[in-house]
A = this chain, B = another copy of it.
Amino acid sequence: MAGRVGFVGLGIMGLPMARNLMAAGYGLAVFNRTRRKAEELAAGGRAEVAESPGELARECDVVITMLPGPPEVRAVFAGEGGLLQGARRGTLLVDMSTSSPDLARELAQAARRRGIGMLDAPVSGGDVGAEEGTLSIMAGGEEKDFQRAKPLFEAMGETITHVGESGAGQLTKAANQIVVALVIEAVAEALVLGSKAGVAPEKVVEVLSGGLAANKVMEVKREKLLNHDFTPGGKVESHHKDLGIALAASREHGVPLPVTAVVGQMFAALEAKGRGGWDHSALLTLIEEGSGHRIGAGG
């Protein structure tokens, strides 16, 4: 095993990922904005709590971050007492947050100038994938850094892909979030039309699952959709942020994304209605309210 591994960000995703690293035998140094969570993890004995990201970076060969989004990533990497200040030459920084491709490239360049390696390696699979260690991990950066991080990735994920240079991981995650959002919207429109016209939603799900319309969202979110249980899972506010990243990339690269733009506005409407903390499958509620019909009620 390599030297000590640092982990910053023990939220709904980060905590089970850190646990899986410990279960695979890695000794961790951890930092979390809310210190209590770090101390709870350290109480098990295989982790040590650091005072700042910079201090943590000084003591570790590889540092993994799992943060809410670009502002937090920028602060933890480039802020006062941040990772780039603390890291020694030869350290590898791996940002597994969902963040912007631009920021990933910028931080990778700043790291490289200091002789520090950096990967952007966001994940798909949600809290369930994080807990079960079955995440899909999409990494951008240099091949040698990818190979170095691979054993760590294997402790947290199942589908592990080096997709290209710095920023490519975040771009692939943006592509992933486009597809997930549009599939949720598709299923929502189909279910509400069917139900208000008199076809039971569970029949629609059953039939559609047997053909070309089959998709993972309908399988994983089935109960949430049919029972209006919007406990997250992936939150509306996170997915709205993710589509913001996708649309910023679309502007930067000159790729008009008409339907992504529309569904982005729908997430904005859900947030405006106070549903930012609901599961992203709550796109269903907008179509229901637009049609004055709750699925199941008439189907």
Contacts and interface: CB of A to CB of B under 8 A. Distances in A.
B253 A263 contact: no
Contact of A189 (B168, B182, B185, B211): B182
A124 interface: yes
A290 interface: yes
A259 B254 contact: no
A293 interface: yes
A158 interface: yes
A290 B256 contact: yes
A136 B210 contact: yes
Contacts of A234: 212
A231 interface: no
A147 interface: no
A67 interface: no
A234 B212 CA distance: 11
A217 B210 contact: no
Interface in A197-247: 197-200, 203-204, 206-217, 220, 234, 246
Nearest to A164: B199
Contact of A138 (B207, B217, B259): B207
Nearest to A266: B258
Interface stretch (A3-11, A76-84, A86-94, A171-179): A171-179
- Tell me what chain A mostly uses at the interface: helix, strand, loop, or mixed: helix
Nearest to A191: B175
Interface string A251-269: 0111111111011001000
B254 A292 contact: yes
A292 B125 CA distance: 32
How often does this chain occur in the complex, in copies? 2
Interface residues of A, number: 77
A70 interface: no
B125 A212 contact: yes
A263 B181 CA distance: 15
Given A176-B211, A182-B185, A208-B179, A246 B171 contact: no
A200 B161 CA distance: 12
B199 A257 contact: no
A259 B193 CA distance: 13
Interface of A: 101, 124-126, 129, 135-136, 138, 158-159, 161, 163-165, 167-168, 171-172, 174-176, 178-183, 185-187, 189-194, 196-200, 203-204, 206-217, 220, 234, 246, 249-250, 252-260, 262-263, 266, 287, 290-293
